[in-house]
Structure 1
Amino acid sequence: MMISFKKGYGLLFFISILLLSFQNTEAQKNGAITTARQTESLNKNWKFHLGSANNPEKDFSYGIVRNFTIAGGGGGAVTPKFDDSKWRTVNVPHDWAVELPFEYHKHFDVQSHGYRPVGGFYPENSVGWYRKKFSVEKEKEGQRFVLRFEGVYRDFKLWVNNNYIGGNFGGYTESSFDITDFIEFDKENLIVLRVDATQYEGWFYEGAGIYRNVALETFTPVHIPEYGVYVYAKVEKSQAKVVAQTTVKNQEGKIAECTVSSYVMDAKGTQVTPTRTEKLKIKNNETQQVEQNFSIKNPLLWGLNTPNLYRLVSIVKKDGKIIDNIETEFGVRTFDYNATTGFSLNGESMKIKGMCVHQDHAGVGSAVPDALVYYRIKLLKEMGVNAYRCSHNPPSKSVLEACDKLGMMVMDEIRVIGTGKENLDQFERLVKRDRNHASIMLWSLGNEETGVQNTDLGRRMAHTLVQRQKELDPSRLSTYGGNNGINFKGINQEMDVRGFNYHIKELDDYHKEHPTQPIVFSEVSSMVSSRGMYAKDSIKGYLPDYDLNKPGWGQRAEEWWKFTVDRPWLMGGFVWTGFDYRGEPTPFTWPNVNSHFGIMDVCGFPKNTYYYYQSWWTDKDVIKIYPHWNGHKAGDKVNVWCNTNADEVELFLNGKSLGKKTMPRNSHLEWDVIYEPGKLEAVGLKNGKTIRTAVETTSAPYQLVLTPDRQAINADGNDVSVINVTVLDKQGREIPDAMNLIQFQLKGNATILGVGNGDPSSHEADKCMDGNWKRSLFNGKCQIILQSMEQAGEFTLTATAEGVQAAAVSIIMKK
């Protein structure tokens, strides 16, 4: 990760900036390291308006004015004189698709994208225009300036000061543009983007707009270029051999003589290696690379519970002065993939307990702020997940930064396999951007490419990508998510690690035929359920919240996990999916608008299967019984499940024992209980320790409760507060089937980003564009997400509902 005086990127960048405060040996020699390199967030105050994919009059004359004919001669919305005063002001990350109402369409692609009216059938909603003004001080003249877009969905064109700069085709690929020649100093500068989301890339919700961070980077003409530092470590006995490759580019207009110095620091800021220095003489517009080697004695290893990170400090000096400085975090660890004994991290054998994850969240769509990314990955860690698959596209940088810091391994994945100029360039940018991250365990070269995966064309493309990956990053291996079972020909021939998507019955035969190829479930399970529902409803689109239902290709949680732990050679797998996501409402269609695959819903509220995984993937004391004890009729037979890692469990109804059962490992317990209202309690014995849980019949809703993820957030304009809403009865018991409509009022220096409740069939607004923020509870829960402003202080959120006591919570914002 690059750490370079960033402004306002939320919790993760706040942590990064704190790291910069540590003193180091080089700084002591030369004074504080101050260079021209700066990174300024451009997330705030963009003007936005929908255009049109098929009507130039509604698209600000795009297509009929001369935007590409002569330099500085564009027309319509790209010109500085264009009046955008009636456009809406938005901050990025921004997803305009999540703001649109749901709309039924019979076409599969609209269904799979969550019935949001964006794409080829909706030209009036599929183009968006963004305009942003910024200024640059005269003192910076002579520097280089680069605009960086971490993610724009999808195909966009960029103008600066009425000059066409370029574009980016991939909706998930980071892009950057050198705009040095177009900067006006001490004057207003204008950035204009036309974003076209007409063409889908995936078969799932993808959003629309500038949905990741934007920044302006400034540095000297002699500098470390984009992705110009690569560092990795090999562990040899009690030492780590660190290899650092640093590239320097000269854009000074003449031959430049400089030095590159590098050393390694630990997380406390202590220099742990000598400084290595190389002299360079670089012609104009050329680059040179140096390789420097270090040794760290008794290194602190990066692991799941001890995510230790080091920092490579790279310093460029010219005429004895520091002109560029980059600090790159990396980890020292060893991944081993063995076709006989399975997977190990730092010599410790373990199963990959992974989850596939799409990038959208309730309330915000695909525009997920950095701090919310951190929140989601923390939820996965609490479940016992140790690996995150980026399904099926390159992740945001914040995903990898959070995984580095929290101790979560990552399978980093491209959107589509291909070796044409566009796809190969996207692949190379992905590897170069991400290769320094400690968390990345595997590169995934694609997913279910049914058109080519069994063909020689697929094999040739895979061969090219694997070879290029090893050139750019020799420290890791590659895999591919194949849904072609026992088939070895095509893409699978080239894979270091064979990725199986499902096809569980063919796995043993494949292993016998290919005993030297390590195997992982790149995708598995696809069990479907709806949080808090206990009966199938094919009209409204709900499934029982048990580990019972699966599509034809899938497996129940218990089924695949038992299969996996019984095979030492099988490395583990990635469950489809960690969270529900928009689109793919299998096995239903309208009115369903999001999936049922998640172990958590779109808000991150756990479904019951969460506790199955937590029981067997963690050492926590886990005991959970369900269903809740409301809504049944006296005399009904209720199937009660218990997920626990206790040795034995006894079930009680209103104090009467219903029997004691021994817990089979990696399984669950069941009782058929004749319903009567009251208290159903499970008492477990684990290693001689009593653990217990209960569900009770509740009375009428009495009081709302607001539960924030944190009591204080950063007043940086980017940090977020996730506040979950529940309702209690008069006895203080949470009501699990409450469906009250909640109204929200906000006072203070914050903005509301969105609301959600995890209901896969809800058509309520995620973004209340009229300012009247509200959301219904779904089975007792909903969620509201707020973002800080840049002023210290506090904000107060109040929640009200008809017939119940209101609740309020205050959050402090700290500078």
Structure 2
Amino acid sequence: MNTMIFRFVAIVCLSVTISSCNQKQDKLAENPRQNILFDFEWKIHRGDVENGQLIEFNDADWRNIDLPHDWSIEDLPGTNSPFDSTAIGGIDAGYLVGGTSWYRKTFDIPKEYSGKKLKIYFEGVYMNSDVWLNGEHLGNHPYGYTAFEFDISDVVKLGEENVLAVQVKNEGRNSRWYTGSGIYRHVWLKVTEPVHVKTWGVSIATPQVTVEKSIVNIETQIENENLENITIQVVTKILDASGKEVVSNINNQKINGESEIKVNQILQIESPELWSPDHPNLYTAIIEIQNEKSEILDIVEETFGIRTIEFSVENGFLLNGNPTLLKGGCMHHGNGPLGAAAYDRAEERRVEIMKANGFNAIRCAHNPPSEVFLDACDRLGILVIDETFDMWRLPKNPQDYSNYFDEWWQKDVDAMVLRDRNHPSIIMWSIGNEIPERGSPEGAETSKMMVEYIKTLDSTRPVTAAVNGLGPDKDPYFATLDISGYNYSFGGDHGQKSIFEKDHERIPDRIMYCAESYPLEAFGAWMDAVKYPYVLGDFVWTSFDYLGEASIGWCGYPHHENFYPWNHAFCGDIDICGFKRPQSYYRDVLWEVGNRLSIFVKPPVPSFPKKENRASWSKWHWHDLVAEWNWEGFENLPLEVVVYSGYEKAELILNGKSLGKKVTNLENQQIAKWNVPYEAGELKVLATKENGEIVSNVLKSASQPVKIQMKADRKEIKASGQDLSYVVVELLDENNLLHPKTDNLVQFEIEGPGEIIAVASSNPMSIENFKHPQRKAYKGRCLVIIKSEKETGEIRLLAKSKNLISAEFKLIVN
């Protein structure tokens, strides 16, 4: 029997923060540690320059920007679009352009920081970055998805002007999807005493978790960067969600000069509130370092959750002892019309949308996500597979990470595991996706090396990888893993119904899950997870649509053609604006989420130009279906109507007349179809629950649009200079029905303490720019993203379009 049991506590966010550059002290007022957000008042120059790192370099004509920033999503110089049909990244990059750019930030450091330790911390820069301070090279960081920091204590000028310069190179063909370019995640200035908790230096585990109690082991790595020895006291308190202290511990230690120690503390929580997707209960640990005079040297605050995970071929995945199927989706790091820019609200919104649509798990593809993303998963209750790389030594593209793997893999694994090891949301580490050497002895040996190394950093989780081209030749690779991730295990490359049962017969102790599945094979992939206990769940490719891999959800593979102007992948359950697509409604039925009854129509004319030579195994597309009942010119002609139903039968009704009932059980994959002569009006589907309650869904014919309507996800945002509001713009008829065939140009004006940072639609072939205050509607909708400034007040957004009644939306900034 292959069973793995893990019991641990996980940390959500590291340390105490100071908001922006005003250095406002947080609630731990005595804490000498300061984390200063370093995102504001940067300059950028697109293109390479000589001596851009020098203090005296003249950057007066460089553009002023704030972080996070992605230059590839911006208009190309001299154009009104970011897209280029000749872009070197081509289809993979969504015809968006990388290159080399420079960033510079000029700042002062107060003399009061004398004797402090100062570090500059980058959460993520894509990709190959070099950093200088005052002309001195601090270092290089090739990988675009891991955090890194430099000690600047001996380079910074106190009481004087300092210049931080960053050269970023996103050159050549280095990725299979859109990566973005630049300093796309947060930057922090960390200020501490010489004696302090090391970055990523806290590890919390629970060797025993029961309903009655949880034993909590906290290991804190503390650095002494002074020459002198020192005796310290480590005071740790754990608070519950209400802020009440539930347990504490004090430990005295001596640290020699210029050395570090690990301090272990054991605490016990009575009647712990366990973390799960349904109940994401969290605690807070406050770790305080004092000297012999009881003076505070450092405080870090950790939010964590307690839970157990267990995996076995007999019982699958048990979370806190409860059987849990992974309702998963793969997700890239991008934020649609924002590019890769990792605004906190954008990261959180993606998690919210996944949760709202029935997902309980996300596989991060194919790199570590932002810290804020994982915080949101912890807080909202989403399970996570945290992944390292898309390749090792063998390349997938000429300029990809394979050029750096041997020198950097261990540092980048450290950056992922040490940073993320305490998040309760993370249930597995993945060491790679579809690694080219997966079928070779060298690949198995590299996998073994990485798995063993990760176990030295974190033994509380299993290690997995996502593998394609499945067959016995991958057995040595799978043997090095705790859990085996199967890409496209149902049909696809294999020409067979399912490979799980066959492999279970060959290797009965192998624990498996579908790490990627085709949307078109949603039913079979999910039935495998339901049927076989050794299959943990299914992760669709993909949960959220993304830029790059353009048109795989329509044109598919092979990808040797130029499919411009396609730029979206067009394969997500959720489209690039965050709107639900037909396949997501079908997944609602499979996962028993929400209404479980939906109705669609196959257009009499294809939604996009058809691709005739799509490979038979290329199944990232969904059926060409739309939720529309506006088909002028096709009166009395039969249209195929498709119903997804989680009930035994469904009845279709057109303008009050029944078109009959059809069975929608598992034998029919919970789908029913009718051929319906088009007649404008109302098309309704009805179903009956087991308790007799009637469930319905309806499509109505809309008349010509007469007005604009705007709806926002939030009506109040923070005056942080970074908070966002997503405003959905809809074109409605006189009965407030969305007209699904309108593509009017909508223009926007904004007043008050905010700015429009992106406009978008769900049209995967649109090459309109994302930054100008206008957008053509697609299927009657578009999206506006507003970013707050640092002042409070009221934002007024005006939307207008020719021959339509304008709309105004007000947003409070506080």
Residue 775 of structure 1 aligns to which amino acid in structure 2?
R
Q: Unpaired segments of 5 or more residues in structure 1?
A: 22-31, 53-58, 62-75, 119-125, 528-554
Aligned mate of 2:288, from 299, 303, 315: 315
Residue 623 of structure 1 contacts residue 692 of structure 1 at CA under 8 Å; is this kept in 2?
A: yes
Which residue pairs with 1:564 in the alignment? 529
Q: CA deviation at 1:619?
A: 4.5
Answer yes or no: is the 8 Å Cα contact 1:247–1:290 preserved in 2. Answer: yes
Structure 1, residues 773-793: CA drift from partner, whole Å, max 9, x if none?
A: 111111122111111111111
Local SS of the residue matching 1:457 = helix
- Equivalent residue number for residue 34 of structure 1: 30
Residue 346 of structure 1: how far off its partner (Å): 1.2
State the AA in 2 paired with 1:652. Answer: I
Establish whether residue 726 from structure 1 lines up as the match of residue 730 from structure 2: yes
Q: Does 1:161 align with 2:134?
A: yes
Q: Does 1:288 align with 2:274?
A: no
Q: Is 1:579 aligned with 2:544?
A: yes
Q: Deviations over 1:164-219 (max 9, x none)?
A: 11121111110111101122222222111111111444211011100001110101
Matches within 5 A, 1:404-443: 404-415=378-389, 416-417=391-392, 420-443=406-429
Q: What does residue 349 of structure 2 align with?
A: 375
Aligned-pair CA distance for 1:81: 2.3
What is the rounded CA distance, in whole Å, between the counterparts of 2:523 and 2:18 in structure 1? 45
Q: Does 2:492 align with 1:503?
A: no
Residue 92 of structure 2 corresponds to residue 112 of structure 1? yes
Q: Which residue of 1 is the match for residue 767 of structure 2?
A: 763
Match of 1:78, SS state, is coil
Partner residue in 2 for 1:178: 151
1:197 equivalenced with 2:191 (yes/no): no
CA deviation after TM superposition for structure 1 residue 618, in Å: 4.3
Q: CA offsets per residue over residues 211-233 of structure 1, 9 Å max, x none? A: 00111010100000111101122
* Residue equivalent to 1:512: 505
Correspondence for 1:252 among 201, 226, 239: 226
Deviation, structure 1 residue 349 = 0.9
Question: How far 1:158 sits from its partner (Å)?
Answer: 0.8
Query: Any idea what SS the aligned residue of 2:149 has?
Result: strand
- Report the residue type matching 1:507 in the other structure: F
Q: Which residue of 2 aligns with 1:3?
A: 15
Deviations 1:517-538 (A, max 9, x none): 211111111x3xxxxxxxxxxx
Whether contact under 8 Å (2:47, 2:102) holds in the other structure is: yes
- The corresponding residue for 1:785 is 785
**What CA distance in whole angstroms lies between the structure 2 residues aligned with 1:562 and 1:247?**
46
Structure-1 residue corresponding to 2:604? none
Whether 1:342 and 2:316 are equivalent positions in the alignment is yes
Aligned counterpart in structure 2 of residue 681 of structure 1, from 672, 680, 684: 684
Count of aligned pairs:
734
The alignment's C-alpha RMSD in Å is 1.9
Partner Cα distance (2:366, 2:753) in 1: 36
- 2:243 corresponds in structure 1 to 269
Aligned 8 A contact 1:168 1:175 in 2: yes
Q: Which position in structure 1 is the counterpart of 2:10?
A: none
Equivalent residue letter for 1:508: E
**DSSP 3-state at the match of 2:499:** helix
User: 2: distance between equivalents of 1:471 and 1:650?
Assistant: 58
Provide the C-alpha distance between the structure 2 equivalents of 1:270 and 1:568, rounded to a whole number of angstroms. Answer: 41
Per the alignment, residue 43 of structure 2 pairs with 47
Cα distance in 2 between the residues matched to 1:347 and 1:776: 51
Q: What are the within-5 Å matches in structure 2 for residues 485-634 of structure 1?
A: 485-487=470-472, 488-504=474-490, 505-525=498-518, 527=519, 555-585=520-550, 586=552, 587-588=554-555, 589-627=563-601, 628-632=628-632, 633-634=634-635
Q: CA deviation at 1:33?
A: 5.5
2:466 is equivalent to residue 481 of structure 1 = yes
Match of 1:717 in 2: 721
Aligned to 2:644: 643
Once the two structures are TM-superposed, the CA of residue 4 in structure 1 deviates from its matched residue by: 0.7
For 1:639 and 1:179, how far apart are their aligned partners in 2? 66
Match of residue 92, structure 1, among 59, 63, 67: 67
2:809 maps to amino acid: V
CA-CA distance at 1:278 after TM superposition = 2.1
Answering whether residue 675 of structure 2 is matched by residue 672 of structure 1, we say yes
Q: Does 1:746 align with 2:750?
A: yes
Which whole-Å deviations, capped at 9, do the CAs of 1:126-182 have from their partners, x for residues lacking one?
111101112222112111111111010111111111211112111111011110112
Look up the SS of the partner of 1:754 in the other structure: strand
* Counterpart Cα distance in 2 of 1:370 and 1:234: 33
Q: 1:200 to 1:436 in 2, by over 3 A?
A: farther
Using a 3 Å threshold, how does the CA distance of structure 1 residues 621 and 503 change in structure 2: closer, same or farther? Answer: closer
Match of 1:659 in 2: 660
For residues 226 and 707 of structure 2, the distance between their equivalents in structure 1, rounded to whole angstroms, comes to: 67
Kept after mapping to 2: 8 A contact 1:46/1:90: yes
Q: Could you tell me whether the CA contact under 8 Å between 1:363 and 1:784 is conserved in 2?
A: no
Distance, in Å, in 1 between the alignment partners of 2:741 and 2:371 is: 38
Q: 1:619 to 1:603 in 2, by over 3 A?
A: closer
Secondary structure of the 1:3 match is coil
* 1:72 corresponds to: none
User: Does the 8 Å CA contact 2:592/2:646 hold for their aligned counterparts?
Assistant: no
User: How many Å separate the matches in 1 of 2:784 and 2:202?
Assistant: 40
For the 8 Å contact 1:254–1:284, the answer to whether it is kept is yes
8 Å Cα contact 2:45/2:63 also seen in 1:
yes
Q: Is 1:798 aligned to residue 779 of structure 2?
A: no
Aligned partners of 1:667 and 1:401: how far apart in 2? 36
Q: Structure 1: how far apart are the matches of 2:799 and 2:29?
A: 48
Q: SS of the counterpart of 1:423? A: helix
1:652-702 CA-partner distances (Å, limit 9, x unpaired)? 101001112343146222222111111101122223212222111111111
> Relative to structure 1, is the Cα distance of residues 737 and 562 closer, same or farther in structure 2, using a 3 angstrom cutoff?
farther
Q: Secondary structure at the match of 1:388?
A: strand
SS at match of 2:578: coil
Q: How does the TM-score come out when normalised to structure 2?
A: 0.88
Task: Pick closer, same or farther for the CA change 1:501–1:190 going to 2, 3 Å.
Answer: same
Return the alpha-carbon distance in structure 1 between the equivalents of residues 268 and 593 of structure 2.
35
What SS does structure 2 have at the residue aligned with 1:92?
A: coil
Q: Distance in 1 between matches of 2:752 and 2:343?
A: 20
Give the Cα–Cα distance (whole angstroms) in 1 for the partners of residues 63 and 427 of structure 2.
42
Q: Is the contact between residue 33 and residue 322 of structure 1 (CA under 8 Å) also seen in structure 2?
A: no
Give the drift of 1:490: 3.6
- What corresponds to 1:545 in structure 2? none
Consecutive unaligned residues in structure 2, runs of 5 or more = 1-12, 77-81, 394-404, 491-497, 556-562, 602-627
CA deviation string 1:604-641 (max 9, x = no partner): 11111111122332443332211310125112211112
Between the aligned residues of both structures, percent identity stands at: 31
Shift of 1:491: 2.4
In structure 2, relative to structure 1, the CA distance for the partners of 1:618 and 1:148 (3 Å cut) is farther
Secondary structure of 2:179 counterpart? coil
User: Any idea what SS the aligned residue of 2:373 has?
Assistant: helix
Deviations along 1:307-344, whole A, 9 cap, x unmatched?
Answer: 01112221111121111011112211111211122112
SS of the residue aligned with 1:753? strand
**Equivalent residue of 1:516, what SS?**
coil
Q: 1-side partners of 2:507 and 2:29: how far apart? A: 54
The answer for the alignment partner of 1:73 in structure 2 is none
* Separation in structure 1 between the aligned mates of residue 511 and residue 142 of structure 2, nearest angstrom: 35
- Conservation of the 8 A alpha-carbon contact between 2:87 and 2:95: no
Query: Offset at 1:584?
Result: 0.9
